[in-house]
């Protein structure tokens, strides 16, 4: 028996996880209040790859058409040697991947994904989003949750913490300290194609593997731009904060001597004004829920980006959190069921992303020259197990 929450569901954070949760709930007729700290919505951080599990979950939120209109549809991916540019291994994406998994693999600017989600939210309820509301504390009792924010107090049936790796909701529940530096730095930026020495990229998605360094590039916005992310395994993070404008000399020094195609991307990043990010993570939490409060996305399970699954898990979380709340039987049971559906999958994905990061950054340090190139984690990832479990348990789910 289901009982849809009568009070609004409060959601901390209007990132990918929070917006997907909100859209799923609003489509089922549940009121939401999305509390976002930023005074205006501005998504930064270059681009995002959406694997078939992510695109299927987004399709279930009714945003598939807008998503496809904004995204690139890569046809093939390759791993290349950092010095020779030789293709070490490759695989088909495009139609072949869509046929295998039932949904496409897409790539787009994060700002464009954010626009698709915010537009969908505002069509469903133009008043759902409260900007300038930084969550600072919470209290719950047997019937409701009250959240203190910089824009005042809000009360609802429950609270979904979708406020990212530095989650205030997680801190209020578990007080598990600040995120820890993971040992990786990333430089990210979007390079105009016409600024490259060689704009003919083949294939359209490539990862260059080097010793303790990797570089990913793929097209976005049709043929007009290339998203470039360069990673380095380093000993520590000594900077103030966790994102800052890149120092071009430092970036060049990390990737000196790389193949001309990779060097073209690094020079493009320097011209385009890349940002340098320290990648921070957290130890897995054994539980996410406390009573009427739970967590989604990076707030629940931050992960390294090496399987391209952080946003995908955030999207799956949002879809299944919304379905669980809609199908009750009450809020506390629904949050427990959401956690049961999501915890193992998200935790395993985070563990595999760690392992894949170690393998690709150490491959050319430790492996024999003819050792197989480690692409397995990505290829064996279960792109199917996305939004199906709740459907199977509850055939009435939309
Ligand atoms: C270099 C890099 C590349 C990546 N590439 C990919 C990829 O290709 N594919 C993929 O699937 N994933 C990728 N990821 C991971 C992905 O970006 C994250 O997992 C995803 O953005 C998490 O979304 P989220 O909504 O949980 O958190 P966030 O995107 O961090 O959103 C959190 C929101 O909460 C708000 N907020 C924070 N604190 C408060 C507060 N106290 N009160 C109110 N609001 C608050 C923030 O302003 C923000 O709007 C990558 C990550 C990195 C670092």
Q: Judge whether 4 lies within some domain.
A: no
In whole angstroms, what is the distance from residue 395 CA to residue 387 CA? 12
Report helix angle 52-59 to 310-327, nearest 10. 30
Shared domain for 297 and 355, answered yes or no, is yes
Report the atom number in ligand 1 closest to the C-alpha of 168.
41
Q: How many CB atoms lie within 10 A of CB 266?
A: 22
Q: Is the CB of 346 under 6 A from ligand 1?
A: no
C-beta separation of 136 from 168 below 8 A: yes
Would you say the CB of residue 189 lies under 6 angstroms from ligand 1? no
Contact present, 321 and 19 (Cβ < 8 Å): no
* Residue 1 belongs to some domain of the structure: no
Cβ count near 362 (within 10 Å)? 14
Q: Which helix (H) or strand (E) holds 160?
A: strand 158-161
What are 364-387's pLDDT values in tens digits? 887 776 777 776 666 667 676 555
* 297 and 369 housed in the same domain: yes
From 305, 315, 318, 354, give the residue whose CB has the most ligand 1 atoms within 8 Å, as the site to mutate.
305
Cα of 71 from ligand 1 centre, angstroms: 19
- Compute the C-alpha angle 88/89/93, nearest 5°: 145
Establish if 2 belongs to a structural domain: no
Q: Which of 225, 250, 276 corresponds to the end of one domain? A: 276
Question: Shortest CA distance to 324 belongs to which of 286, 287, 289, 285?
Answer: 289
148 plus 48 within the same structural domain: yes
pLDDT exceeds cutoff 60 at 396 = no
CA of 268 to the centre of ligand 1 (A): 25
Domains contained in the chain, number: 2
The reply to whether 162 and 90 lie within a common domain is: yes
**Which residue in this structure is represented by tokens 């629940």?**
300
Q: Which two tokens stand for residue 122?
A: 């505002």
Q: Are residues 246 and 383 in the same domain?
A: no
Q: What is the mean pLDDT of residues 155-161?
A: 98
Structure confidence by residue, pLDDT tens digits, 72-121: 999 999 999 999 999 988 889 999 999 988 899 999 999 999 999 999 99
Q: What is d(CA 308, CA 291) in angstroms, rounded to the nearest whole number? A: 31
Distance, CA 3 to ligand 1 centroid (Å)? 31
User: Rounded to the nearest whole angstrom, what is the distance from the C-alpha of residue 357 to the centroid of ligand 1?
Assistant: 19
111 plus 197 within the same structural domain:
no
Q: Give the dihedral of Cα atoms 382, 334, 60, 67; nearest 10 deg.
A: -80
Q: How many CB atoms lie within 10 A of CB 195?
A: 14
Indicate whether 374 and 235 sit together in one domain. Answer: no
pLDDT tens-place string over residues 290-345: 999 999 999 999 999 999 999 999 999 999 999 999 988 899 999 999 999 999 99
Catalytic residues: 218
Share above pLDDT 70 across residues of the chain, in percent, rounded to a whole number: 92
In a domain, 31, yes or no: yes
Which residue's CA is the nearest one to ligand 1's atom 52?
305
For atom 20 of ligand 1, the residue with the nearest CA is 311
Q: Dihedral (C-alpha) 186, 191, 112, 168: value to the nearest 10 degrees?
A: 20
Q: Is the CB of 316 under 6 A from ligand 1?
A: no
Could you say which of 261, 276, 291 is where a domain stops?
A: 276
Task: Report H helices in 182-309.
Answer: 248-254, 260-272
Determine the atom of ligand 1 nearest the C-alpha atom of 311. 11
Following DSSP, what letter does each residue of 319-350 receive, concatenated? HHHHHHHHH-S-HHHHHHHHHHHHHHHHHHHH
Does residue 270 belong to any structural domain of this protein?
yes
How far is the centre of ligand 1, averaged over its atoms, from the C-alpha of 311 (Å)?
Answer: 7
Residues 148 and 187 in one domain: no
Domain containing 247: what range? 182-276
Whether residue 36 has its Cβ less than 6 Å from ligand 1: yes
> Does one domain contain both 39 and 96?
yes
**Are 81 and 113 part of one and the same domain?**
yes
CATH number for the domain harbouring residue 15: 3.50.50.60
Same domain flag for 26 and 170: yes
The predicted-structure confidence for 208-261, as pLDDT tens digits, reads as follows 999 999 999 999 999 999 999 999 999 888 776 678 889 999 999 999 999 999
Q: Is the CB of 13 under 6 A from ligand 1?
A: yes
In a domain, 3, yes or no: no
Tell me, yes or no, whether 165 and 36 share the same domain: yes
Beta bridge partners of 274: none
Give the tens place of pLDDT for each residue, 23-82. 999 999 999 999 999 999 876 668 999 999 999 999 999 999 999 999 999 999 999 999
- Of 361, 355, 344, 362, the residue nearest 378 (C-alpha): 355
Q: How far is the C-alpha of 221 from the C-alpha of 353, rounded, in Å?
A: 27
Task: Give tens-digit pLDDT for 173-211.
Answer: 999 999 999 999 999 999 999 999 999 999 999 999 999
**∠ at Cα 184 (78, 91), nearest 5°?**
10
């Amino acid at each position: 028996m289901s009982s849809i929450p009568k009070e609004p569901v409060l959601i901390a954070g209007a990132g990918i996880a929070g917006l997907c949760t909100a859209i799923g709930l609003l489509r089922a007729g549940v009121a939401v209040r999305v509390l976002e700290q930023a005074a205006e919505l501005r998504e930064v951080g270059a681009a995002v790859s959406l694997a078939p599990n992510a695109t299927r979950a987004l399709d279930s939120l009714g945003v598939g058409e807008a998503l496809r209109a904004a995204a690139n549809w890569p046809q093939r991916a390759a791993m290349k040697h950092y010095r020779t540019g030789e293709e070490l291994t490759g695989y088909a994406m495009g139609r072949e991947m869509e046929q295998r998994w039932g949904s496409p693999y897409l790539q787009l600017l994060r700002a464009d994904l954010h626009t698709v989600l915010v537009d969908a939210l505002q069509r469903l309820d133009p008043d759902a989003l409260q900007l300038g509301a930084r969550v600072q504390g919470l209290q719950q009792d047997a019937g409701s949750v009250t959240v203190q924010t910089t824009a005042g107090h809000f009360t609802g049936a429950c609270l979904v913490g979708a406020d990212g790796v530095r989650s205030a909701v997680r801190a209020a529940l578990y007080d598990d300290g600040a995120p820890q530096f993971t040992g990786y730095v990333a430089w990210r930026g979007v390079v105009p194609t016409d600024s490259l020495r060689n704009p003919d990229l083949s294939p359209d998605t490539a990862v260059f593997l080097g010793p303790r360094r990797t570089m990913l590039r793929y097209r976005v916005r049709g043929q007009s731009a290339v998203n470039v992310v360069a990673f380095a395994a380093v000993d520590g993070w000594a900077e103030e904060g966790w994102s800052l404008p890149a120092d071009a000399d430092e970036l060049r020094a990390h990737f000196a001597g790389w193949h001309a195609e990779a060097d073209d991307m690094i020079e493009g990043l320097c011209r385009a004004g890349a940002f340098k990010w320290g990648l921070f993570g957290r130890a897995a939490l054994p539980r996410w829920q406390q009573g009427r409060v739970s967590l989604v996305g990076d707030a629940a399970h931050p992960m390294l980006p090496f399987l391209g699954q952080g946003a995908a898990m955030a999207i799956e979380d949002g879809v299944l959190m919304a379905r669980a709340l809609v199908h009750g039987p009450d809020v506390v049971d629904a949050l427990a069921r959401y956690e049961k559906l999501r915890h193992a999958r998200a935790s395993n994905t985070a563990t595999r992303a760690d392992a894949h990061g170690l393998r690709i950054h150490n491959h050319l340090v430790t492996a024999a020259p003819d050792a197989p190139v480690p692409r397995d984690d990505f290829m064996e990832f279960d792109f199917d197990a996305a939004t199906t479990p709740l459907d199977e348990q509850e055939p009435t789910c939309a």
